[in-house]
Structure formats: structure tokens, C-alpha cells
């Protein structure tokens, strides 16, 4: 780790000012909020910039607001704020719960939702969970604002569609309707998660699942939804889901793209996907029946 090389710090008070700075300095400037990834890249000497553009003084960028049935998390909202947000606890309880297990308490006090998503480390929880919440990201630039579905936003490890002149301003989540039972499981020995599974089953008045949402993260280059699983699960009762959990999990595992890395081989990750999708189904089924599964597995966080 080398020392930080000198840079200037700009603290614009509006998106327009940020845009102007980006236009003026281009690759010599970097957007900065919590800095939990950026400062490490600068210290490692992997990135050199002349200026940091601090987003934390742009009003409204850190707010968590409800907006016609969706919930919008401002890009500079800190994990700690997400963890304690009453709105999220009420509308997207899983999001508040998962935020509590991001990295460690110090990173949660400083790191932001936008920084996490824009860095797009394949081994992280938020993108996986947000994918199951049909998240849509808002990218602002002087040329205008565009909305990108999270599934299209992340192209691969550390690669997103965000252009250099664009600022990620927020992420819009579509909370699951009332009567949805959900679970997030994260497994791994390392500092960062090796596997993330988000499962949400919305149970209709007739007791049938309509729809189910399943996202799997960390095992491949980007988080992935499991459309086959979701089709198979739709229309079935939760009990039926639990009954066919093994087969459904197997199908989901076969469909995901897994890549080997320091966290494990591709086939191990595929089998862990099978194991934890099944466990997620069992937990969701138990929760649907009003039981507290208080399932505990080694090196696993169940939210």
C-alpha cells in the first residue's frame, strides 16, 4: 500500500456543479462519497487522480424516500442509514436486515449504497438483493437522466454501463407486495461473501405463489435472476414449493453462470447454489407458515 498521492477535493452543492467538474477534468477526477473502495484503489496505486469530487453535499442524494409504490435510496445513503431506515424496515424489511451484515460496522458507517453498486464487486450483497427487488438505477449527466435496470447495469466484475460523465444518483426498488415471504442467505468463509441468495414468494389470496423472485449473487461475474425457477414456482402453493424444493433448487443451480476464483471452483459454487436455494425455500416455507425457522448453518448469515 503506498501513501495517497496529493489531490484536490471539490465539494459541489448541486448535480450541475458535479457535471461541470466531470466535464472539465474527465479522467483526472473521480467521484467520491464514502471512499471505502476509491481510497483503497488510490492507496494501492491502481488509480491516479488529481481531484476528488465529493457528492455528499449535493442535497437529497442521501435520502430514502417513497415514490408511488416504489422506494428510492439515494446514492450517498450510508449502509448504516439503510440499516436503520424506518421506511425500509416497513416496505423492504430484507434490505434493512441485509445492510446490517455488509462488511463491518466501520465500513457501514462510511460506505454508501451508490458506491457499492457503482464499484460492482461481484462479491457483494446489495446488488443480489436489489436484483430481486427489480431495482432500477438512475444515472444523471449533463446530457440528461436515464434509468437502467440493475440487470443491465452490471456488465461483469467491476464493470458497469455507467459512463465517465454520469453520476449514479439513486436506486429505485419495487417493494414486494404484502403477503410476500422472503429470505436472504449469504455464505462464505472469506471477508466478502462467496454466495448470496435472495428469495421472495408473494402468496396470493388463493395460497398460490404469484410470483416468486429468486436472485443468486457472488458465484458468477454478476448477480443473476432465475427465470426458469420463477416460472416453475409460479402458481404453486408454498407447501408444494417446499415439497419440490430439492428439484427446484437443482434446476436453479444448473441455470446460473459460475466462475472459479479464490472463493472456490465453479462446480463447488454451483452445488452451493443448489444447497442454499433449497435452504432458502425451506426458510421461506417455514416463515409462510408463521414459524421462525431460526436456521443456523456454519459461515452463513440468514436474514
Partner 1 sequence: MPDIRTPSSCSLALTVNGRPVTLDVPAHALLLDVLRDRLGLKGAKRSCDIQVCGACTVLVDGAPVSACTYLAVEADGRAVLTVEGLADGERLDPLQEAFIEHGAVQCGFCTSGMLLSAKALLDEDPSPTPERVVQYLRGNLCRCTGYRKLVDAIVACGAARGGTA
Partner 2 sequence: MRVTRELALAVPPGALWTLLWDVPRMVACVPGCVEAREVEAHRRYAARLTQKVGPIRLSLPLDVEVTEVEPERRLALRARGRDPRIGAEVAMRVTLDIDARDGGSVLRIDAEGRVLGTLGALGHGAIQRKAEESVDEFGARLREAARG
Partner 3 sequence: MRRGARGDGVSGPGPLRVVGQSVRRVDALEKVTGRARYVTDLELPGMLHVTLVRSPYAHARLVRLDTQAATGVPGVRAVVGSGDLTGCDPYFGPAFRDRPILAIDVVRYEGEPVVAVVADDEGAAAEAAALVDVAYEELPAVTTLEEALAPGAPLVHTAEPLAGHFADLSTLRAKPGTNICHQFDFERGRGAAAFADAHLILEDTYTFPRVQHYSMEPHAAVAAWNEAGELTVWASTQNPYSVRVELAKMFDVPLGRIRIVVPLLGGGFGGKTYAKLEPIVGALARMTGRPVRLALSAEEAFRTVRRCDARVRARLGFTREGLLLAAECDADFDVGAYADIGPRIIQKGTYTATGPYRVPHVRLHSNAVYTNTTPGGAFRGFGVPQLAWAIESVLDEAARRLDHDPVELRRQNLLAHGEEFAPGDAPIDGKFEESLNRAAHAIRWTQGAAADRGRGVAMMLKASIGPTVSEAIVRLHADASATVLASAVEMGQGARTVMAQIAAEVLAIPVGRVFVATPDTAVTPYDQTTSSSRSTTMTGRAVQEAAADVRDQLLHVASGRLGVPAARLRLEDGAVVGASERLAYPDVLEERFGMGGGELIGRGVVAPGRSAAPLGGSTPFWEMAVGAAEIVVDEETGAITVEKYVSVADVGRCINPLQCEAQDEGAVLQGLGHTLLEEMLYERGQLLNANLVDYRVPRAEDLPRVLECRFVENADGAGPFGAKGAGEGSLVPVAPAVGNALSRLTGVRLRELPLTPERVWRALRARRAGP
Please say which residue, 56 or 155, places its beta carbon nearer to partner 1.
Answer: 56
Q: How many angstroms separate the CA atoms of 295 and 292, rounded? A: 8
| Per-residue cell: 163 | 459512463
In the bound complex, what is the minimum distance in angstroms from residue 25's beta carbon to partner 1? 9
Contacting positions for partner 2 (CB under 8 A): 27, 30, 41, 44-48, 119-120, 122, 156-159, 221, 259, 261-262
Q: How many angstroms separate the CA atoms of 186 and 217, rounded? A: 9
107 interacts with partner 1 by CB under 8 A? yes
| Positions 77 through 96 that interact with partner 1 (CB under 8 A) | 80
Unique residue bearing C-alpha cell 433448487: 249
Near partner 1 by CB under 8 A: residue from 21, 39, 72, 251: 39
Please write down the HEC assignment for all residues of 7-50.
Answer: CEEECCCCHHHHHHHHHHHHHHEEEECCCCCHHHHHHCCCCCCC
264 interacts with partner 3 by CB under 8 A? yes
191 interacts with partner 3 by CB under 8 A? yes
DSSP code at position 175: P
**Collapsed DSSP state (helix, strand, coil) of residue 174:** coil
| Per-residue cell: 62 | 442521501
Q: With left for phi above 0 and alpha for psi between -120 and 50, is residue 104 left, alpha or beta? A: beta
**Continuous segment of H or E residues that includes residue 172:** strand 167-173
Please say which residue, 80 or 162, places its beta carbon nearer to partner 2.
Answer: 162
CA-based nearest residue to 31, from 151, 138, 125, 112: 112
Does residue 253 contact residue 228 with C-beta atoms inside 8 Å? Answer: no
Choose the one of partner 1, partner 2, partner 3, none that binds residue 14, judging by a C-beta under 5 to 8 angstroms depending on kind. none
Please say which residue, 71 or 185, places its beta carbon nearer to partner 1.
Answer: 185
1 interacts with partner 3 by CB under 8 A? yes
**Collapsed DSSP state (helix, strand, coil) of residue 130:** helix
Choose the one of partner 3, partner 2, partner 1, none that binds residue 50, judging by a C-beta under 5 to 8 angstroms depending on kind. partner 1
Q: How many angstroms separate the CA atoms of 188 and 230, rounded? A: 25
CA-based nearest residue to 74, from 161, 140, 154: 140
In the bound complex, what is the minimum distance in angstroms from residue 145's beta carbon to partner 3? 34
Mark residues 41-80: x for contact with partner 1 by CB under 8 A, - for none: --x------x-x---------------------------x
Choose the one of partner 3, partner 2, partner 1, none that binds residue 297, judging by a C-beta under 5 to 8 angstroms depending on kind. partner 3
268 interacts with partner 3 by CB under 8 A? yes
- Which stretches of the chain bind partner 3, using CB under 8 A? 1-6, 45, 187, 189-192, 262, 264-265, 268, 271-272, 275, 297-300
- Which stretches of the chain bind partner 1, using CB under 8 A? 1, 4-9, 28, 35-36, 39-40, 43, 50, 52, 80, 103-107, 109-110, 191
Amino acid at each position: 500500500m503506498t501513501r495517497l498521492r496529493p489531490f484536490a477535493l471539490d465539494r459541489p452543492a448541486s448535480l450541475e456543479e458535479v457535471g461541470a467538474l466531470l466535464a472539465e477534468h474527465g479522467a483526472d477526477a473521480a467521484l467520491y462519497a464514502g471512499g471505502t473502495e476509491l481510497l483503497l484503489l488510490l492507496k494501492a496505486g491502481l488509480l491516479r487522480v488529481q481531484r476528488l469530487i465529493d457528492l455528499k453535499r449535493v442535497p437529497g442524494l442521501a435520502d430514502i424516500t417513497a415514490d408511488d409504490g416504489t422506494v428510492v435510496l439515494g446514492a450517498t445513503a450510508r449502509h448504516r442509514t439503510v440499516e436503520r431506515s424506518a421506511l425500509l424496515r416497513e416496505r423492504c424489511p430484507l434490505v434493512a436486515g441485509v445492510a446490517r451484515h455488509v462488511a463491518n460496522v466501520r465500513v457501514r458507517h462510511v460506505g454508501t449504497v451508490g458506491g457499492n453498486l457503482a464499484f460492482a464487486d461481484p462479491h457483494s450483497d446489495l446488488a443480489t438483493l436489489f436484483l430481486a427487488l427489480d431495482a432500477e438505477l438512475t444515472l444523471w449527466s449533463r446530457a440528461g437522466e436515464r434509468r437502467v435496470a440493475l440487470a443491465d447495469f452490471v456488465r461483469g466484475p467491476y464493470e458497469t454501463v455507467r459512463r465517465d460523465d454520469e453520476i449514479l444518483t439513486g436506486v429505485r426498488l419495487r417493494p414486494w407486495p404484502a403477503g410476500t415471504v422472503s429470505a436472504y442467505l449469504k455464505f462464505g468463509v472469506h471477508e466478502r461473501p462467496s454466495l448470496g441468495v435472495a428469495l421472495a414468494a408473494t402468496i396470493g389470496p388463493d395460497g398460490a405463489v404469484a410470483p416468486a423472485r429468486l436472485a443468486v449473487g457472488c458465484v458468477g461475474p454478476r448477480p443473476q435472476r432465475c427465470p426458469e425457477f420463477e416460472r416453475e414456482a409460479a402458481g404453486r402453493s408454498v407447501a408444494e414449493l417446499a415439497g419440490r424444493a430439492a428439484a427446484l433448487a437443482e434446476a436453479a443451480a444448473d441455470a446460473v453462470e459460475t466462475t472459479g476464483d479464490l472463493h472456490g471452483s465453479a462446480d463447488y459454487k454451483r452445488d452451493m447454489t443448489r444447497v442454499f436455494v433449497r435452504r432458502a425455500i425451506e426458510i421461506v416455507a417455514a416463515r409462510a407458515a408463521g414459524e421462525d425457522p431460526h436456521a443456523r448453518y456454519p459461515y452463513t448469515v440468514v436474514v
